[in-house]
Chains A and B, each alone.
Chain A
Amino acid sequence: MRSSSLIGLLAVVLTVTTVLAGVSAQPIEPFDSDQEFSVRNRIDELMVAKWKEQGITPAFICSDAVFLRRVYLDLIGTLPTEDEAKKFLEDSDPQKREKLIDELLNRPEYADYWTMRWGDVLRIKAEFPINLWPNAVQAYNRWLYSSLARNKPYDQFVRELLTSSGSNFRVGPVNFYRATQDRSPKGIAQAVALTFMGVRADQWPEEKLKGMAAFFSQISFKSTMEWKEEIVSWDPYHANTATQPPPPQEAVFPDGVKIQLPADRDPRQVFADWLISPKNPWFAKNVVNRIWYWLFGRGIIHEPDDIRDDNPAVAPEVLSYLESELVRSGWDLKHIYRLICNSGTYQLSCIARSRNPKAGMYFAYYPTRRLDAEVLIDAICQITGTSEEYWSMVPEPYTIISQGERAVRLGDASITSAFLELFGRPPRDVGLISERANRMTASQRLHLLNSSHILTKIEQGPGLEWARNSYTNPRQTVTRLYLTILSRYPTEKEWEILKQTTAKSSRLSREMVIDLIWALMNSTEFLYRH
């Protein structure tokens, strides 16, 4: 009795504290809109309950400009152009956010961008230490791209990855089994658990891993006459039975259920039947949590590839809801993107209004993160009208990608550039999300502020030639540069600042324009998703 009233008292104190601790009563231009958070869908209902429980005030809803840029970067990894930005900002349709989400989900860049994201998880790389070989990488990427472009139902997507047979050059998804450093049944089981269950099986007890590995003990990799071609297939008899022990007859599912492997059926199918099911405790959860992670930079279970009992979800109700929606929609991944992006939670501003240190963990504001290496260089190239050269020094003969290709579309971690390496593009060696490093380092900052690579693009890039040559109408030039680089109009405050410097005279100099472009492209607003 006594203790419960104490808890009650504590709760009151905490609530009062939270109210008092509320920061930023006023929306901040140009990031916040003047709208308070309100419930828009089921995700929001569930999140509000969490925030109440924790005493957290959510941020304001973000401004249209912020939403525009955010959803472009999050869904298609591409900046809006000047015209796209203008069109959206001037659109008075109250449904415009919802419509933009639908429009982006149908753009070809959607498939490009998500091919890159899935490529990280699936470790798509031609050479060392994942030796898929360029022809196989192409086949794999073609399959991946068309699956995502067609929005192939996720259950079918995974079934094809797990159960396909054929040539690595022709049947893209067979490369799933080749894209691991360790192709033993245990190595494969670990890759399957990591990719589709979000589980690190290397920490499992030996017996458990062995039980799961049995499902992958009848896969054969056979070379052909064609150089580096390999046929991946089910081969219960193993060509070299003389030297190898027969594969195990018994297998154990990760939930502990034992099974005798039928002689007439590919055990990969048996495993897929178990995994790909609405009842499977990992399958849907893993993918909706990964999507959440991709959109917020933090999983509801975090890290998203470390799902285990002692790493609980911060909002398990949201996960269960998304899982059920995935199943109900016929495993439609775009449906999940749509639900999340249309939620008020996703549309919160990045400026926190709660001092509660848990506000970030509970998604009470949108987390800022540095743009991914590929997205950043593509954005810089798009604005400046320039391109990059990408190459692979392995295998010989070297691969050189023609100028003009976007980094997001490279599709092979062996093909790279000094910029991508410097900015922490994942090597795709093990497929963990932690392989991608988005923390800003001093070397990266040096490169952006002062490298000839970036300065040349700013000073000479044909995409901005109009700005460097337009001296007579500062207001128009500045406005267009803001739209091009930051996807928004300048604020009054910015005009004031610019009046002190760049725009103080009635004419602009080339030098002033270059300095302004440089400053906008080096701003946190440009470099970070926000």
Chain B
Amino acid sequence: MSDIANTHVVLNAEGHQVSARLTRRAALKRGIFGALALYLGRAGVVPRHVWAFDPTLPATKPAKAKAVIQIWMWGGPPHLDTFDPKPEAGSDYCGPFTSPIETNVSGIRINELLTELAKIADKYSLIRSMTHGVNAHETASYLVQTGRMPGDRIVYPAVGAVVAYFKGQPPEYDGLIPPYIVLTEPQGRFSEAGFLGPRFKPFATGGDPARTPFTVEGIVSPGVTVARQKSRRELLQNLDLLRQAMGDDPQIQEVKQAEEQAYDLILGTSGKAFDPSEEPQAVREKYGMTTFGQSCLVARRLVERGVRYITINYKGWDTHKENFVVMRRKLPEFDRGLASLIQDLADRGLLDSTIVWCCGEFGRTPKIAWEAPWNGGRHHYGPAFSALVAGGGFKGGHVVGTTDKNGSEVKERPVHPTDLIASMYELLGIDPGTTIRHPQGYMVRLIPEPGNGVTSGGLLTEIM
């Protein structure tokens, strides 16, 4: 039989011919796996676990940071009641929180309920001059996590998707666990992957790590034994007539590959990374037996397994009503989880290579709404808010920027979302000035160039 129709020339990334004849199977795969074929031509190995793959991936530089943990305070935490206390501004601004505590770094004071964080201020820095001026959740969430204002027809990816793009695909990553994890629910404000597409979306665990077992959707399924998993898999393979009939169709190959990867996680031991009950009870309690505390613990476990980006979507900060009641409940839990995470990462030698960043989409109004129905509430506030950064090359024990006497305006060193994001990229070895390919073919800058309506305070060099 002639092979005329089945002969193709495949060029590798440098343009050299690497293969002149492919099997029919390979030829059919070319459509969807064309990119993969190109990659294989380049590296010559078949990576077993490809969570996502894009052959146009630009190179990264040597990096200090390998992984990122993002604590997303969903709804916008009050900067005055967390990292930027203003006891001198009077009770209409600081409410009942009149006595912030000194930390172990002289001159840095934080909210009095953050007692654990106060003991380790040398390990993190505070940015008190975050600003963007947007008071709407969706736009601000998008802006703080993509560094872009919406509206120019391109929908940009969030930091997590960008890190998954640069650090979560071969040759850098071939881990069993998806490289970008969300604990536990997606944020739901916008599509995290933006134009990078669903391959770079996070894997949302579902479930609740504070409950046993922590049922990570798809990975941990209580009640199905390993033996039954295996017999089911066999039954499926025997009964799947369509798969048998069209075995070399690229679509079918894709299902098979996805399925093998899925079973490696279901049947293998790597799913244990999600299981906080493998930790000593004392460790678990140190983080706090709350959803947030245990999420922090799971995040640490995932970083140990090489996962690149973990977002903890930490809800409950949208305190229009009774802000102080909520803070009294929430701050101790927050304090315990975050402080344990930072300390634990440091103790295990992981803090130097793991960025922890923590903020919401904005701050909250400095002036308290005492009247009903708010009863001591605070509303959305984009002109000034705070962020905490630690590890991965960020220095500890510093404060960047200041706000005015009642926390209403940034006084010194405004830091825009792009500045924080660009600084993280820099530490991760991702050149903030690099461009990536939009599916429509054109190249898009990761971080916008200043000017043309984009304001920037520059990289956070003082803490890098």
Q: Are A430 and B238 in contact (CB under 8 A)?
A: no
Q: Which residues from A are CB-within-8-Å of B137? A: 394, 396
Q: Among A357, A396, A441, which residue has its beta carbon within 8 angstroms of that of B5?
A: A357
Once bound together, how far apart are the Cα atoms of A475 and B317, in whole Å? 57
Interface residues of B in 180-208 (CB under 8 A from A): 185-186, 188-191, 197-199, 201, 203-204, 206-207
CB distance from A210 to the nearest CB of B (A): 17
CB distance from A90 to the nearest CB of B (A): 22
Q: Are B238 and A497 in contact (CB under 8 A)?
A: yes
Q: Are B243 and A524 in contact (CB under 8 A)?
A: yes
CB distance from A456 to the nearest CB of B (A): 10
Selecting from A320-328, A380-388, A514-522, the interface stretch reads A514-522
CB distance from A478 to the nearest CB of B (A): 11
Q: Are A31 and B242 in contact (CB under 8 A)?
A: yes
CB within 8 Å: A-B pair count: 212
Selecting from B105-113, B214-222, B285-293, B392-400, the interface stretch reads B214-222
Given A439-B254, A440-B258; A450-B221 close (CB under 8 Å):
yes
Q: Are B217 and A455 in contact (CB under 8 A)?
A: no
Q: Are A451 and B242 in contact (CB under 8 A)?
A: no
CB distance from B204 to the nearest CB of A (A): 6
Once bound together, how far apart are the Cα atoms of A16 and B1, in whole Å? 9
Q: Are B1 and A442 in contact (CB under 8 A)?
A: no
Once bound together, how far apart are the Cα atoms of A502 and B152, in whole Å? 57
Q: B143-178 toward A: CB 8 Å interface, digit per residue (1/0)?
A: 000000011110100000000000000000000001
CB distance from B290 to the nearest CB of A (A): 22
Q: Are B262 and A17 in contact (CB under 8 A)?
A: no
Q: Which residues from B are CB-within-8-Å of A418? A: 185-186, 204, 206, 217
A273 on interface, CB distance cutoff 8 Å: no
Q: Which residues from A are CB-within-8-Å of B381? A: none
Given A418-B185, A515-B232; A449-B28 close (CB under 8 Å):
no
Q: Are B218 and A447 in contact (CB under 8 A)?
A: yes
Count of A interface residues, CB-CB < 8 Å: 81
CB distance from B442 to the nearest CB of A (A): 9
Given A20-B1, A430-B155, A449-B218; A501-B235 close (CB under 8 Å):
yes
Q: Are B2 and A494 in contact (CB under 8 A)?
A: no
Q: Are B189 and A393 in contact (CB under 8 A)?
A: yes
Once bound together, how far apart are the Cα atoms of A187 and B245, in whole Å? 47
Q: Are A451 and B218 in contact (CB under 8 A)?
A: yes
Q: Which residues from A are CB-within-8-Å of B229? A: 450
CB distance from B211 to the nearest CB of A (A): 12
A434 on interface, CB distance cutoff 8 Å: yes
Selecting from A91-99, A253-261, A308-316, A421-429, the interface stretch reads A421-429
A87 on interface, CB distance cutoff 8 Å: no
Q: Are A519 and B189 in contact (CB under 8 A)?
A: no
Once bound together, how far apart are the Cα atoms of A369 and B254, in whole Å? 11
A445 on interface, CB distance cutoff 8 Å: yes
Q: Are A440 and B235 in contact (CB under 8 A)?
A: no
CB distance from A345 to the nearest CB of B (A): 19
Q: A497-530 toward B: CB 8 Å interface, digit per residue (1/0)?
A: 1100110000000010001101110111101101
A sample of 12 inter-chain contacts (CB < 8 A) reads A17-B5, A20-B2, A181-B152, A187-B153, A350-B242, A352-B246, A422-B201, A429-B191, A498-B239, A515-B231, A523-B239, A525-B240
Interface residues of A (CB under 8 A from B): 13-14, 16-18, 20-21, 28-31, 127-129, 181-182, 187, 190, 200, 202, 350-352, 355-357, 360, 368-370, 391, 393-396, 416, 418, 421-422, 424, 427, 429-430, 432, 434, 437, 439-447, 449-453, 455, 491, 493-494, 497-498, 501-502, 511, 515-516, 518-520, 522-525, 527-528, 530
Interface residues of B (CB under 8 A from A): 1-2, 4-6, 24, 27-28, 30-32, 49, 51, 137-139, 142, 150-153, 155, 178, 185-186, 188-191, 197-199, 201, 203-204, 206-207, 215, 217-219, 221-224, 228-229, 231-232, 235-236, 238-243, 245-246, 249, 251-252, 254-255, 257-259, 261-263, 265-266, 439-440
17 further A-B contacts with Cβ under 8 Å, apart from A368-B242, A445-B255, are: A14-B4, A129-B142, A350-B246, A427-B155, A429-B191, A434-B439, A437-B197, A439-B199, A442-B51, A442-B178, A442-B265, A449-B263, A455-B221, A518-B232, A519-B232, A523-B243, A524-B243
